[in-house]
Amino acid sequence: MPGKITRIAVTYTMDTPDGPRHTFHGLAHMRRHVRPERVNELLDDLAVICEELVAAREPAPGSGLTVLPRRTR
């Protein structure tokens, strides 16, 4: 039972003469300003990473975790 990415939040920090400048970028902002194929590739990569992280967790009573099938590209 594969899941899906529902939220992404990235804080990007740049060094400026006035000190660090933090910018926040969410999925909706990415979809408006980035080529769709780049966003789709990012979502695919993050989905694989999340599936691997979930698979690495030990299922425990009440955790809601079960063994998920491996995703193939």
Q: Which two tokens stand for residue 53?
A: 């992280």
In a domain, 69, yes or no: no
Domain that holds residue 45: 9-56
Structure token pair of residue 26: 């969410």
Q: Which pLDDT belongs to residue 11?
A: 96
Q: What's the total number of domains in the chain?
A: 1
Identify the CA nearest to 6 among candidates 51, 53, 43, 37.
43
Q: Kindly give the confidence (pLDDT) of every residue in the chain, 73 residues in length, as a single tens digit, with 9 standing for 90 and above.
A: 678 899 999 999 999 999 999 999 999 999 999 999 999 999 999 999 999 988 888 766 666 655 555 566 6
35 domain-assigned: yes
C-alpha to C-alpha distance for 40 and 20, rounded to whole angstroms: 30
Residue 16 covered by a domain: yes
Domain contains 34 = yes
Q: Which of 6, 73, 18, 65 is nearest to 44 (CA)?
A: 73
